[in-house]
């Protein structure tokens, strides 16, 4: 692990800026301080918002689609050129295996900019030739305009991936942004500022302010009167707070929030493929992905086989140094988050769970024991009334619950206030289509998990969010259409 203590500064109006104070960023791997992060106070947040407004009202506001597309492609190239720097920053903040950061986080960041460059250059709006009963004729067509100055608030679990998932379409559509990364993962948003500047992004178009949520940069930003919209990924409770903050000014929001995702395994499923798929969906990124599975409903005839196979998968995971090739699983993001997840391990036992794997804090040796490690954990013996089956844990945990019929499986899977994603495992594709369409979620997979087409709608229902991102669905949030009607 890198141990150099690096400064992480705010980026406002094209310049790196110190804050009035700073805080220590601690590695979740071994508890070592790895960065000094400069806090943005309300004055600095206001400077960032005003810089974004000036950029929007200046030449950036007149920049055409071809120029913006070329700029996004230069940013993608810049991330590729500094690929290893982004991997190091991501690992330093999150502790995730470097192999995962390379494959998932940094790789997707490059793709996000190129994908939205393609989307904005090809996406059009409706036009109509109108003929009225009185004989008048008109051409009606719509044009897209940028939404304006956007607050982009991103979480700590996939910080670069989710940052670029929002910033790329925002800039593609001509907006200016003020980014507030999580205090736990400030580095890649700051590194991206260097790439933005080198690519020629005008001053004020991309700004970064660091800090916490309430009574800090997050609140200062989302309550700022000159913000035109907020896009946020994170906890449902934080989404509710942001909605309250923007309600008096009636600002649009795009939220991808929490999940308590279900997998449904039927007796005719390919069990080897299913167990491998479940292993990924439960334990990827130490369970710290909004799309991860925390509820596994298994048809009774194959319940024991699935439980045994998934238990073997969990016990085969390797926790350790993120740069070791054998490491499959990193720590949780922080000691505070480990305390939360650990409390759910206790709750499960109190509720009568049988622990199939994990259930505690591992002993990894003197250095790593200072980190935020926890064992990959599986339970049986619980039902949908247990708190650990109803509430989002956001860790490497899952409850396995048997079912008897297709109707029961659908009912159990939909018995949740969340509705982000689901996965259905069956070799009967008629059943797969049928059940997947009945899931009360925004995304439903059949015989796979996390297989994404970035043009498809991404988002959830219920406590899992508002709106959709991806391809033209992102364009709907990041632009305001204006209809033009010309009498002929």
Q: Is residue 116 part of a domain?
A: yes
CA distance 392 to 381: 18
Exposed/middle/buried for residue 290 (C-beta within 10 Å: 0-12, 13-18, 19+): buried
Same domain, 93 and 169: yes
Contact 373, 95 (CB under 8 A): no
Q: Tell me if residue 432 falls in helix, strand or coil.
A: helix
CATH for 62: 3.40.605.10
Number of domains in the chain: 2
Give the bridge partners for 127, in sequence order. 141
Q: Is residue 459 part of a domain?
A: no
Q: Tell me if residue 24 falls in helix, strand or coil.
A: strand
Report CA 157 to chain centroid distance, whole Å: 7
CA distance 375 to 342: 10
pLDDT tens per residue across all 488 residues of the chain? 445 789 999 999 999 999 999 999 999 999 999 999 999 999 999 999 999 999 999 999 999 999 999 999 999 999 999 999 999 999 999 999 999 999 999 999 999 999 999 999 888 888 999 999 999 999 999 999 999 999 999 999 999 999 999 999 999 999 999 999 999 999 999 999 999 999 999 999 999 999 999 999 999 999 999 999 999 999 999 999 999 999 999 999 999 999 999 999 999 999 999 999 999 999 999 999 999 999 999 999 999 999 999 999 999 999 999 999 999 999 999 999 999 999 999 999 999 999 999 999 999 998 999 999 999 999 999 999 999 999 999 999 999 999 999 999 999 999 999 999 999 999 999 999 999 999 999 999 999 999 999 999 999 999 999 999 999 999 999 999 999 999 99
Phi, psi for 487 (deg, rounded to 5): -70, 135
CA distance 442 to 25: 34
Same domain, 312 and 444: yes
Same domain, 244 and 388: no
Same domain, 189 and 308: no
Q: Is residue 398 part of a domain?
A: yes
Catalytic residue set? 256, 290
CB neighbour list of residue 140: distance below 8 Å, 6 or more residues apart: 127, 128, 129, 130, 483, 484, 485, 486
Domain extent at residue 195:
6-257+464-487
- Tell me how long the chain is: 488
The token duo for 19 is 């804050």
The string of DSSP codes covering 33-55 is EEEEEEEP-HHHHHHHHHHHHHH
């Amino acid at each position: 692990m890198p141990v150099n203590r690096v400064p992480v500064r705010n980026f406002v109006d094209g310049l790196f800026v110190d804050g009035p104070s700073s805080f220590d960023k601690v590695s979740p791997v071994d508890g070592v301080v790895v960065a000094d992060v400069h806090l943005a106070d309300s004055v600095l947040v206001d400077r960032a918002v005003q810089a974004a407004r000036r950029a929007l009202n200046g030449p950036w506001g007149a920049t055409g689609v071809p120029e913006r597309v070329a700029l996004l492609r230069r940013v993608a190239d810049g991330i590729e050129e500094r690929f290893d720097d982004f991997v190091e920053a991501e690992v330093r903040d999150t502790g995730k295996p470097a192999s995962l950061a390379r494959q998932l986080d940094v790789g997707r960041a490059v793709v996000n900019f190129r994908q939205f460059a393609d989307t904005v250059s090809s996406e059009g709006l409706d036009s109509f030739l109108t003929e009225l009963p009185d004989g008048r004729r008109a051409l009606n067509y719509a044009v897209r305009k940028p939404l304006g100055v956007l607050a982009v608030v991103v979480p700590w679990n996939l910080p670069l991936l989710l940052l670029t998932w929002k910033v790329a379409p925002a800039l593609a559509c001509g907006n200016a942004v003020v980014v507030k990364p999580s205090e736990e993962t400030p580095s890649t948003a700051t590194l991206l500022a260097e790439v933005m500047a080198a690519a020629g992004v005008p001053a004020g178009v991309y700004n970064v302010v660091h800090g916490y949520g309430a009574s800090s940069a997050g609140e200062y930003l989302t309550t700022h009167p000159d913000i035109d919209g907020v896009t946020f990924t994170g906890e449902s409770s934080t989404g509710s707070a942001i909605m309250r903050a923007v309600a008096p000014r009636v600002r649009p929001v795009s939220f991808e929030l929490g999940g308590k995702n279900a997998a449904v395994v039927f007796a005719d499923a390919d069990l080897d493929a299913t167990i491998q798929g479940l292993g990924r969906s439960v334990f990827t990124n130490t369970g710290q992905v909004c799309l991860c599975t925390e509820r596994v409903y298994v048809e009774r005839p194959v319940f024991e086989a699935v439980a045994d196979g998934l238990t073997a998968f969990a016990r085969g995971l390797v926790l350790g140094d993120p740069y070791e090739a054998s490491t499959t699983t990193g720590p949780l993001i922080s000691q505070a988050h480990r305390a939360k997840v650990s409390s759910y391990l206790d709750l499960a036992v109190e509720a009568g769970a049988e622990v199939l794997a994990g259930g505690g804090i591992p002993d990894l040796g003197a250095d790593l024991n200072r980190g935020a490690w926890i064992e990959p954990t599986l339970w049986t013996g619980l039902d949908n009334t247990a708190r650990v089956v109803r509430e989002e844990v956001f860790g490497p945990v899952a409850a396995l619950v048997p079912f008897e019929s297709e109707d029961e499986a659908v009912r159990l899977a939909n018995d949740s206030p969340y509705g982000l994603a689901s996965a259905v495992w069956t070799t009967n594709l008629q059943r797969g289509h049928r059940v997947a369409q009945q899931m009360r979620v925004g995304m439903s997979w059949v015989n796979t998990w996390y297989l994404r087409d970035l043009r498809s709608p991404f988002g959830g229902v219920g406590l899992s969010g508002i709106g959709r991102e991806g391809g033209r669905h992102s364009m709907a949030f990041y632009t305001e259409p204006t209809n033009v009607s010309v009498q002929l």
